[in-house]
Structure formats: C-alpha cells, structure tokens
Amino acid sequence: MLLHAEYASPSGQIAASELNFGEVTPPIHAWAALFLYNIEKFNTAPDLDFLKRVFLKLLANFTWWVNRRDRFGRNVFEGGFIGLHTIGPFDRTKPLPTGGYIEQADGAAWAAFFCQNMLEMAIELAANDPSYEEMALKFYEHLIWISSSLNRNDGEGFWDAKDGFYYDRLRGPDGASAQLKVRSLIGLIPFCATTVIEKYQRERCSRLALHLERRMRQFPELAAAMHPAGDLGVAGRGLIALVGPGKLRRVLEKLLDENEFLGPYGIRSLSRYHRQNPYVVSVHGDQYSVKYLAGESDSPIFGGNTNWCGPVWFPINVMIIRALLNFYAYYGDTLKVSFPTGSLNSLNLFDVSQELVGRLTRIFLPDRNGRRPVYGATERFRLDPHWHNYISFFEYFNGGTGAGLGANHMTGWTALIAPLIHLFSRLDAASLLDEGKRAAFRFA
C-alpha cells in the first residue's frame, strides 16, 4: 500500500507516519517485500509479478535516498530515523546547537541494508530475465562504496578501533569532525546489515562474481572495508556484510555483555555503561547528555513515545536476531562466543539467537510467583484473574524489569514475539546449516 501511487511521492519518497509524512524512517520496505516473497516462494509458489512491481517502486525510493539523504555524494546518509533519532545528545531531526550536521553511522548502514535487499531481489529476477543482472551490479557497487565510507580508517570513519564500536560523527560548520561516543543501537545497525547469498543465487548471477573480482583488483582498499566477499562459508554460501570477522567479534563482545547491551529481557537500546558514565557534550555553556535509564526518560527531549534510551525495543531486537542467523548460516560452529561476554559459556550464533528470543519471551511469561513482568507493578493486571491472561503489547519495555512502557497497543511491532516463538519452535541449527534460507522461510 505504501508503495502505491496514491501514497508514495512521485519523487520516490515514502510517507513516514501519520504525524508527519515527511519524516525519514529506516528503509525496511525492501526487506519486508522480499520477506513476503520468500515465504510464498518456499511454501507455495514464487510471485515474480509482485516482486517486479515492488522492485520498480523501491528503485524510485532508493534514488530518492541517494539524492536527498546523501547531501555530498560521499555515501554518508542522514535524516534522523524515527525511534533512533532520540538515542544521542541531540535530536537528529532538528538543527544542531553546534551548527553543522551529524553524519549517521546507522544512516549508512540502513542504506547498505536497502542495497542488500535490492541486490537479492535483482538476483531473483535475473533468473528469468538476465537484464536484471545490471541492477544487481548497480546495487553491489553502491554497497561497496557505502561500506568503504563507513569503515574508512583515516580518522574520518565511524568505527572506533579502541572501543570496538560504531559511532555517529558530528561535522562542524568549519568541516572539522568528532565522534559522538554514545554506545547505542545506532552503533549496532552496521552489524545488522548482513545478508547470506546461497550458492544457487550466486550461480544465477555469474556476472556479479566476475564484477566483484575485477573491482577488488582495481580498488584493493575496498576489500578491507567489508566482510571478505570471495570467501565461502558453510555449504558454499557467501556473505555480504559491513563488518568483517575482526569487527564482528568486537561488536559481539559489547552486544552480549550484561554490563552493556544484554539485559534480562532482551537487547537494550542504550548501553548500561552509560549508567555510571553519562556522555556529555558542552555547547556555548549548555550541557547535552545521554545516560542510561532502564525505564522512562527523565528528559523532555527523550520522553513520551520517543524514549528509547535504555528500554528494550522489539524492532531492532528482531534485526539483531536476523543478523545472528545469517552469520550462523555462513560460519556455522566455527564461530563461537562467550554468552554472556566474559563467561565460560561458549555458544554458536544460532544458540545465541535462541537465548535472545528466550529473554524477549520472558517478558510475557508468568514468573515463579505467577506474575508476568510485562505488567510491572500494576496490581490489577498482575493479580486480577479477569485481566491476568490478557497480554498487552507495549511499545517498549523496561530494560531491568521487563515492565511494559509507552503505548500499550503496539501490535505492529511487539507482536513480532509470536513469529519468533513460532520460528524457533520449528527451526533447528542443523536444518539452517543444511538448507539455509529455504529452512528459515519454510518454518517462518
């Protein structure tokens, strides 16, 4: 519906929300369309007509992104992004008190994720119409240059080698820049931009492999800016990812650290590190700060329905689980990590994803006293038999207690808990390694 001519702008922009059509939201429409297509493909029959229609519409939207959100043509994107715009010292949708602008780590990663999904669509369509191979090459070209901007190592990139994390950059009016060292979901989005390419997909678009090989010879520095594209994993799978093996392990250390992002009820939006170490920026005598709060914000800037500084938010938790499954389909049991970080408990990434789903599910399940964390201290919902089993899907959740916060009717994203439970009740690690995407979508 959002891609229909009655709703999308002729420029390619897609309406954001009922409050402001012109706001910028993460470009997940290609992922949603591809997800729907794959469910039908692996369970009934592929709907290529649908894929062609949405591909053309999304192509217009991608062009809008490149022309409007990448202001200097350097593959550095911006725009705010609803939800993520409030995880920082400044509201990224408004003029900055410093002047200048913010170069957004998540903006580049969202654009790369968009490219990955469009690339996968083009490969699928190329099996029946070879002319789509050109579009596959186009999106891979965009992808490698975005990755090179995100991971540049000349002091102007987003990756901090000391911290092992991605940060936004504040670009001043004089052109000078500095990282905004807030450990938040913003720095995890590059980890989420990952896609497995199955052997059969690679064979459908043979020109893509030749193009990639030629590009790596022409620009060897590009090879170091993303996951090694020529290296094949389990079952001959390729991996398109912004993080290489070294960066992957560094990000996972933070992600799975209970003193950072890993909470008892899922991944926190802001690292718990900032509870004792608030991030503070001083501008013209005023201080702008970010600190970890497990529940509702105490700042009007980040309050109300835009409070993501600490609570558990389902959409990005789902993105993280998706990324873990993609990395597992590629690495298999050759990559194991401590869970939680620092423990002697070593898990593969499939088991890690299961653990995260278990923590998210725990929000809604009765504890040993028969009380559901989702209801917090609200006695009527906790104890009244007329209400106890009627579960509300809150907008976000307390990072420490699991209590529901914000709006209590967000079935648009919090109800994702249902397909997560369904998927992991049917999918096992062996099936994912053996069948790859076919197993994931067959059991979805």
Average pLDDT for residues 163-187, to the nearest whole number? 92
Q: What is the phi/psi pair of residue 405, to 5°?
A: -135, 165
Helix/strand/coil for 369: coil
pLDDT tens-digit series, residues 5-22: 777 777 777 776 666 666
Average pLDDT for residues 318-328, to the nearest whole number? 98
Contact 135, 216 (CB under 8 A): no
pLDDT-derived band at 210 (thresholds 50, 70, 90) equals: confident
- Say yes or no to pLDDT of 92 above 80: no
pLDDT of residue 78: 63
- Say yes or no to pLDDT of 330 above 70: yes
Handedness of CA 140, 145, 150, 152 (dihedral sign): positive
Q: Can you read off the two tokens belonging to residue 420? A: 């997560």
Any alpha helices (H) in 151-301, and if so which ranges?
Answer: 189-192, 199-204, 206-218, 220-223, 245-255, 273-276
Distance between CA atoms of 88 and 54, rounded to whole angstroms? 34
pLDDT of residue 364: 96
Contact 316, 326 (CB under 8 A): no
Contact 410, 395 (CB under 8 A): yes
How many CB atoms neighbour CB 258 within 10 A? 15
Any alpha helices (H) in 26-162, and if so which ranges?
Answer: 29-43, 48-68, 105-126, 133-150
Average pLDDT for residues 407-414, to the nearest whole number? 82
pLDDT tens-digit series, residues 34-57: 999 999 999 999 999 999 999 999
pLDDT of residue 31: 96
pLDDT of residue 86: 62
pLDDT of residue 20: 64
pLDDT of residue 304: 54
- Say yes or no to pLDDT of 137 above 60: yes
Q: What is the rounded radius of gyration, in angstroms, for the C-alpha atoms of the chain?
A: 21
Give the rounded percent of residues in the chain with a pLDDT score beyond 70.
Answer: 90
Distance between CA atoms of 269 and 39, rounded to whole angstroms? 29
Long-range Cβ contact pairs of 430-438 (< 8 A, separation 24 or more):
432/325, 432/328, 432/329, 432/350, 433/234, 433/235, 433/328, 433/329, 433/332, 434/235, 436/196, 436/198, 436/235, 436/237, 436/329, 437/38, 437/42, 437/196, 437/198, 437/329, 438/42
Distance between CA atoms of 387 and 52, rounded to whole angstroms? 47
pLDDT of residue 83: 52
- Say yes or no to pLDDT of 198 above 90: yes
Average pLDDT for residues 370-386, to the nearest whole number? 87
Q: Can you read off the two tokens belonging to residue 407? A: 């709006």
pLDDT-derived band at 389 (thresholds 50, 70, 90) equals: confident
pLDDT tens-digit series, residues 236-289: 999 999 999 999 999 999 999 999 999 999 999 999 999 999 999 888 888 888
- Say yes or no to pLDDT of 4 above 80: no
Q: Can you read off the two tokens belonging to residue 359? A: 């923590």
pLDDT of residue 69: 58
pLDDT of residue 273: 96
Q: Can you read off the two tokens belonging to residue 173? A: 């009016």
Average pLDDT for residues 408-437, to the nearest whole number? 93
pLDDT of residue 388: 83
Average pLDDT for residues 65-89, to the nearest whole number? 65
Q: How far is CA 270 from CA 74, 239, 398, in A?
A: 28, 28, 12
pLDDT of residue 17: 66
